[in-house]
Amino acid sequence: MADSYLTTTDVAHFNKTDMDILVSDVLDDAPFLSVLAARTVLGNTFKYSKITANPAVGFRDVNDGIENKKGTYTSVTLDLKVLDASFAVDIAAATADERGLEHMMGIEALAHMRQAMAEVEQQIFYGTGNDAGGFAGFAGQANLNGLSDAQVVGAGGTTSATGSSVYLVRTGDADCQVLWGQQGVISIGERQIVERAGSTTGRFPAYYHPIVGWCGLKVGSIYSVVRIANLTADSGKGLTDSLIAQALEKFPASRGPNYIVMNRRSHRQLQSSRTATNPTGAPAPFPSESFGVPIVVTDQIGSTETLLT
């Protein structure tokens, strides 16, 4: 049976407020975030230790010994970042909704929360390349940001500004996790009336709702993620099962990935590669897995990445 981990839907929650919002309602545009393992953090900083070299062991003869060599450990500290989905609505616009003020504010809150979750997912892939004020993501990892890196498979694309990546991710307590600070609470403050600057002149009154949480990402091991990079629009340089097999080879035998994450173009390229080899001659269906690893399709991975060198 496959492992099952807590996800953002399980651990992130809202404080008591006058708006009825469920986090499960706003993960639709963040499909990878909805399946990626998550945990709460008491404050805004998360510390953990990881082993970087195993202790030495071996066989020995009777009445002879072996050297005692301890393992090597390192301490990692991750600073969580503020996720701000606060919003304001002109009182005139809010009260003009024929279904009432609560409807208008609820719709606006859901829109901001949905975009916030999409932003978190995009940050997971691109890190500070997406938002410099956010946490570090996959693309900025030292073992994933160069074509010669051990955890990178190059697809061979050469057309600039048409690049994309596919990530094979192992998720769980020892690998990749989303971290939600302040015990997972996304704080929604009380509705306030504030004064805002007009778009062209003057001031106007607005209903303001602060929505703030703390978020980060843990990439536990160098073997937690493998990147297939330089997938482009060039003929023969799209995603194939062969590239996925090369990426799978980079994981330890007993610690393979839980998910393969890609955008819609890579998904279509993989489908097209299977169609070309389909013995029936019929188009292959859009794939849901490769070598038994589930595929997650997201719009938060782009098709205009700078190629890795």
- Distance (Å, rounded) from C-alpha 256 to C-alpha 244? 12
Q: Please give the average per-residue pLDDT across 161-178, as a whole number.
A: 96
What are the tens digits of pLDDT across the range 72-104?
888 899 999 999 999 999 999 888 877 888 888
Is 24 a domain residue?
Answer: yes
Assess if residue 2 is contained within a domain: no
Which residues touch 44 (CB under 8 Å, ≥6 apart)? 79, 80, 181, 182, 214
Residue 261 belongs to a domain: yes
Domain region containing 213: 8-52+71-297
In a domain, 160, yes or no: yes
288 vs 227: CA distance, rounded Å: 19
Q: Tell whether the model's pLDDT for residue 169 goes beyond 80.
A: yes
- The answer to whether residues 118 and 297 touch, using CB atoms and an 8 Å cutoff, is no
pTM (global) more than 0.85: yes
d(Cα 79, Cα 69) in Å, to the nearest integer? 33
On whether residue 20 sits in a domain, the answer given is yes
Inside any domain, residue 242? yes
Residue 259: which pLDDT band, with cuts at 50, 70 and 90? very high
For the chain, how many residues are written?
Answer: 309
* Dihedral pair phi/psi, residue 107, rounded to 5°: -60, -45
Ordered DSSP codes for 216-284: EEEE--TTSEEEEEEE-SSTT-S--HHHHHHHHTTS-TT---SEEEE-HHHHHHHHHHHHHT-TT-SPP
Is residue 302 in a domain?
Answer: no
Q: Which of 124, 111, 105, 135 minimizes the C-alpha distance to 28? A: 111
Bridge partners of 195?
Answer: 205
φ/ψ of 279, rounded to 5, equals: -65, -20
Strand 225-231 to strand 259-262: parallel, antiparallel, or no bridges (unpaired)?
A: unpaired
Residue 63 counted as domain residue: no
pLDDT tens digit string along 177-229?
Answer: 999 999 999 988 888 999 999 989 999 999 998 999 999 999 999 999 999 99
Number of separate domains in the chain? 1
Closest residue by Cα to residue 26 from 44, 41, 13, 40: 13
